Amino acid sequence: MEPTVLRDDMVASLEHEMKGLVRSEHVGLALRTVPRHEFVPLEASDGAYSDRSFDHRGTRILSPSTVARLMEALDVREDDSVLVVGAGVGYTSAVLAEIVGEQNVHAVDITRTMVYEARQNLDSSGYGGVFVDCRDGADGLPEYAPFDRILVEAAAIEPPRTLVEQLTADGRLVIPLGGGIQRLTAVERASDGTPDIGREFGTVAFAPLLVDGEQSDTIERNRTTREDREFADRNAQARHGWEHEWIDWDGYS
C-alpha cells in the first residue's frame, strides 16, 4: 500500500478512533505529509504507520499518538520559532517544520550519533533546513533564543530554568514533569522569569533528561556509578588508624 494512504489511515485513526488525539487541522495535515518511514530503522519500516514506538540506538522513536499529543499540547502557530530538546531521529522536528517552516525549527540532542542521524533523516525526507546541533538539552540554544515554543522530549522533576528563560514573553514550554508518574505539562514564563506551571495533558512515560556523560555513545554512561567506584577505591586505600604501628606510651614521660 502507498505510504500516502497509510499516513492518511494513521491520522484518521488518531482523529476518530483514539479519542480525538488530533484535533487541529494543521497537526493532522503535518502528520499526513511527513514520511515517517524515512525516520524508522529499515527493519521496522513495515510498521512505520502503525501506532507504535521503536527503540533505536539508545533513544525511542515516539509513536504517532505520542507525537500527536505533543503537537496539540505545544499549540504551535505558523511562523513560530520552535526549539526541540531531544532531537532523536528527527521525526518530531519534521512534523513541526511542516507547520512553522524549516527555518523556524531548531533541535538539540546530547548524543552526537543521534544528531548525525537526525540530520541525515531530515535531509533525505526534504527537511534539510531544520537546524540540529549537539548540545546539553538543559542549556537550550541561547544564540537562537527567544523561542515561541520549546518542546522537551525527556522528563524532569522541575522545568529547567534556562529553558524557561529562553521563552518569549507569551511563549510555552511543554515537558513531561515528575519522577514516578510523569505528566505532560505546559509551562509559561512568569514576569520575573520563573517557571509558571500551567495546564496538564495527561500522563506519559519518557526517559529522563540527560546531562553530559550520560548519553548512550559516551565512554562512561553512568557517571554516578563511576564516581561511586572511585570513591570506594579511595576509601579502601585510606588509613583508618589501626594500620599504624603500635606505640609504647610507657616510653613517654
pLDDT at residue 201 is higher than 60: yes
pLDDT score at 151: 98
pLDDT in tens, 209-234: 976 555 555 444 444 555 566 656 65
pLDDT in tens, 81-91: 999 999 999 99
**Per the residue annotation, which of 45, 63, 81, 125 is the catalytic one?**
63
Provide Rg for the chain, Cα atoms: 23
Q: Dihedral of CA 83/87/91/92: which sign?
A: negative
Backbone angles phi, psi at 155, to 5 degrees: -95, 150
Report the chain's terminal Cα–Cα distance, integer Å: 99
Asked if 72 contacts 23 with a C-beta cutoff of 8 angstroms, the reply is yes
Average of pLDDT values for 153-180? 95
Percent of the chain residues past pLDDT 90, beyond the cut: 73
pLDDT score at 218: 47
pLDDT at residue 26 is higher than 90: yes
To the question of pTM greater than 0.95 for the whole model, the response is: no
Concerning whether 93 is annotated as a catalytic residue, the answer is no
Q: How many CA atoms within 13 Å lie on the side-chain side of 126? A: 9
